[in-house]
Amino acid sequence: MKPHYRIFFIQFAVAVSLGALLSRLPDLQVKFGLSEGELGVLLVAMSSGVLFGLTFSGRLIERLGARSTAFVTVFAAAVLFAAIPWMPSAPSAAPLFFLAGIFTGAFEINANIETDRHEALLGYRIMSRAHGMWSLGFCLTAFVAAGMRQAGVSIELHSLIVLAAVLISGTVVFSGIANAPRQPDTHPGEASHVSLPTIGLMPLCLIAAAPLLAEGASVDWSTIYMRDVFATQPFVGGLSVTLFSLAIAIGRLGMDPLVDRFNPRPVAIALLAIATAGLVLVAMAPSPLVALIGFCLTGIGCSSVYPLAISAAARRTDRPASVNVAALGQTTFVVFFAGPPLLGFIAEHFGIRFSYWAVVPLMLAALLVNKALATAPATAMGEPELGRPNA
């Protein structure tokens, strides 16, 4: 297996674990007897954990290295996500959501830093493809979840099956991970204990946050949207997450050559416009088919904007790459995880259709600051032999 494929699998494995839980939020909502707003409060616990992990884990990740960090973050998150459905109530599940969020935030730093370093080794962009593996994992697990919901398989049994798959496959793949060397033109200092965004980084944070809010709204609430608005069967409702994840995966897996050819800014502008159109279509959908088309457009539009922002942040020279990536991740993943709970409150008070309208202004704001994206392609450094896997 090529070294960067192992890094891709980090994204895939976490997406499978998290997606299995999020795809069955309607079942979790019923089990715990929660309203949309109360379910949103529960998701805030995970958002808080993600923020904690992104803020404080950067330096520890640099010390542990890519391999050890992959084992710790992916496996711990998988175990916690699988344990949540077994909890008897929402209060008992909240601490697990928080802890899972911590490891999810830490995984994000590790995966993005290593992907950026492998880009430099390869001489062409792979960041979108790396995040495409996240989306592919979501697509696969959402499709499986839709089938399991339709077949009446319990959420508890489903969580154990997913956990076993992640632990077995992860053990095989992660054992061969090796640290990629730092890029020579990056900041030479060590990562700080706390990573916070700077003024110069804020436009990139906005560009990255907008599609992630749309992604969070689609992943977390689309099955509930389809159920509440159109009273669809569980399998049809689950197709909303499946098709959205498939669209975003296809976009990410195929976008890197376009970015290399046309540069990030025009690609990002086109994608943000497509995502905005998709959100409007979902909000106005008169039928399940139109809503599914809207989710597909939103997925394509959201596909590569966040990876482009990550690459731009990693190539800034004002601070170590891990600090800028962590700081960008703080802002954007707080939006990804905290945004859907807030949209849940909007849905409860103004209707779930309006929650999708609420995402549109942020998408338009991202379009206004698109100049912050870097235009330089990945710099080839050859493909020297990577070091031995770290302990």
Q: Tell me, yes or no, whether 189 lies in a domain.
A: no
**pLDDT tens, 334-385?**
676 667 677 777 877 888 888 899 899 999 999 998 888 854 444 444 443 4
Q: What DSSP line would sit under 132-150, residue for residue?
A: HHHHHHHHHHHHHHHHHHH
Q: Which amino acid is at 211?
A: P
Q: Tell me, yes or no, whether 383 lies in a domain.
A: no
**pLDDT tens, 58-102?**
778 888 888 999 999 999 999 999 999 999 999 999 999 999 999
**pLDDT tens, 57-69?**
777 888 888 899 9
Of 116, 130, 371, residue with least CA distance to 266: 371
Q: Tell me, yes or no, whether 58 lies in a domain.
A: yes
Q: Tell me, yes or no, whether 225 lies in a domain.
A: yes
Q: Tell me, yes or no, whether 187 lies in a domain.
A: no
Of residues 72 and 146, more confidently modeled: 72
Whether 294 contacts 170, CB under 8 Å: no
Q: Tell me, yes or no, whether 190 lies in a domain.
A: no
* Range 52-57 average pLDDT: 81
Range of the domain at 59: 3-179+196-372
Of 287, 276, 273, residue with least CA distance to 240: 287
Burial 29-68 (b: 16+ CB within 10 A, else e): bebbebebebbbebbbbbbbbbbbbbbbbbbebbebbbbb
CATH number at 53 reads 1.20.1250.20
pLDDT given for residue 254 in this prediction: 86
Q: Tell me, yes or no, whether 331 lies in a domain.
A: yes
CA distances from 223 to 231, 240, 276, 295, 303 (A): 10, 6, 20, 11, 20
Provide the 8-state DSSP code for 1: -
> In total, how many domains does the chain have?
1
* Range 140-150 average pLDDT: 87
Of 185, 208, 234, 162, residue with least CA distance to 302: 208
Q: Which amino acid is at 221?
A: W
Overall residue count recorded for the chain in this entry? 391
Q: Tell me, yes or no, whether 390 lies in a domain.
A: no
